Structure 1
Amino acid sequence: MKAAALLLAGSMALAACASDEPTGTGSGGGGGGAATEDLRIGLAYDEGGRGDQSFNDSAYAGASAAADALGAELQELSPNEDASNRAELLTQLAEQGFNPVIAVGFAYDDVIAEVAPQFPETTFAQVDGSNADGAKGENVTGLVFAEEEGSFLAGVAAALKSESAHIGFVGGVESPLIEKFEAGYVAGAQAVNPQIRIDRQYISPAGDFSGFSDPARGQIVAQGMYDAGADIIFHAAGGSGLGVFQAASASGNRAIGVDSDQYLTVGPELQPVVMTSMLKRVDNAVEQFINDYAEGNVQGAEDVLSDLSTEGIGLATSGGFIDDIQDDIQQYSQQITDGTITVPTTVE
């Protein structure tokens, strides 16, 4: 197992400002699927857009890397304030000839199933959206992740490092996807300490995606947990995670980031509280999908899974805060990949 590479995989530079302008121009050589000088990549962001220092930024990093390597054009679009125009974003990109078109986030589930069949010549992908059954169209690939596996390791780390045997979890939006993070985290912490106390709360209910882009509310929720005695909180809340870090700093505690290596994306004043981050390599998945498309290797109506075994999931080590528990983390990781441990995806 490539444990060291897995745990260090989060080092990447993420841009911090949103843009709806093309970020590259077509000038490369030919590819297997289409001449790369004609490759025009469309990227439709989730709630909050680029600059969330998390999920959207990771998708941008992968798309940008592929566009640069292939000499392709990259067009980015962000949702409006209430994210009610997701269907319009996908339609606009497809109508303007961008291909492939990548939708970032499970919130695109319904709209991509509506839009993709209208553009059968356009190849779509959806981050965090399964299409294994082909219900969203024969031209849609699901880029999915075993979030529960990385979250299990985050729970292990939290339980091993907690001094109060009291930790917390803050989810952005109550949903089956974020429940996978919660379920894995709880299982990992309880594997280390069956008696550990775990506070859990979501920022917004199902269907209200503002929970991914409201740091102020994230801070309030986290502060309540710290005040109640938790000393480490894991967030799966997108841009709202900044508030969790701010609460950790204000209360002299620690937090665990998500998706990207957030030690590298927060300011210096918050780095001391980011104990680790659960790496969900959206960047790698998006970049590989675009490369596969350019080479003519995208099948559509399928899911591509990233998990511990593919190094698409892991824990960041920036800051050195979990260096002393690496042997434990690697042992649990090995047990997951060899099937000794089956990580739950739902909370009992």
Structure 2
Amino acid sequence: MSHSKISVVVLGREDSLKKALVTIILGKDLSQLSQRHVLKNTKIYENDKYVVTCTPGMDTSCVDIRELFAINHHPHMSLMVVEDGFSTEEVQQQIEMLHHITGRPTEELRVVLPLKNKHPDKYPFKCCTLGEVFNKLSKLTEGRYLLPTDKRHADHLDSDMSESHMSTPHPLMEMTGNHSGTKVNLVLLGMAGTGKSASGNTILGKKAFTSRTSSNQVTTKCQEAETRIGSRHFRVIDTPDIFDDDIESSVKDKHVRECKELCKEEPCVYLLVMHVSRFTDGERDILKKLEKAFGNKVQEQTVILFTRGEDLKRAKMTFEEFLESCQPDLKKIIEKCGRRCVLFENSNSRSPQVEELMKTVSRMFKEFKETSDHTNKGWSWNPFAKSK
């Protein structure tokens, strides 16, 4: 059998989506890979197993695509990426356009579906999930005496390709790493005065962070403390305010770098701390600020932690009533974070509210694991799963 590399052509209108798929196939950031040009607007990346051709946008350089397929008559896989919320009619038109440009049968092209589109058989064109792409690649490599695709990619790459700026593997994939003994980072984020430090102390069950009522910022640098909750090991990271528009960008960037350094390689859960009875103008675009600091997938790793639960008690309002009746802008933030919300009444000791936080985080892990639909090799994606 041949030992030559597997040839993959990646097509589509969105450059960021195409580069994301190339990055995931090859397992490295594109800046770390060799690249070459056979045509003006076409880039080819490769490693020891694959040669992946990233084509120009179909609307701008049809000539390049025609010439590419003239050079490479029969790539092993021809994949077209589409955005989340794509129009079936528009995709069908793109496929027909490619057929006329390249002369290749439409059946040879596979549309790579975003995460939310789980039923390839309901579309009038050939399509597949990322997991199916990597199963096929694995079979091709094994059949050609090449090392198979990294199993972690094959098992977990039904990740969301719907974000147009994705340039690295999905952040939650990094949570698949090590066994049930993996340490989990809980990163406290939010505006000054929302109760980040007090919430950290509640989670830890001890006073590790300085906490006092103040209109000024009390926490001025990132701090960490560790604890065990049940059989799990957690690192709780308290942060200064990185969302205040009046703070210099260089200072905020420094805090973000410190936070990322503390997180190291372990899974990260972001706890966005907000005051239950106060929603400020500075918090209206807090998710955009969060994405800028930690990447455009951060919402999928975020739990909103509301403090001052006692205020709701005084108002004789349940937490569920608050979530349903809150301001529209706050409700949008809640929805974008998957309605993962918990309520704290901070004290010096642990209480059922910490258990509720653990359940919420665990559900978040479980939801992504179920989406990936794989738990192989004796390890569990979910750090909260019991050791085997």
Structure 2 length normalisation: TM-score?
Answer: 0.29
Question: Whose relative contact order is higher, 1 or 2, with alpha carbons under 8 Å and at least 6 apart?
Answer: 1
Q: Which has the larger radius of gyration?
A: 2
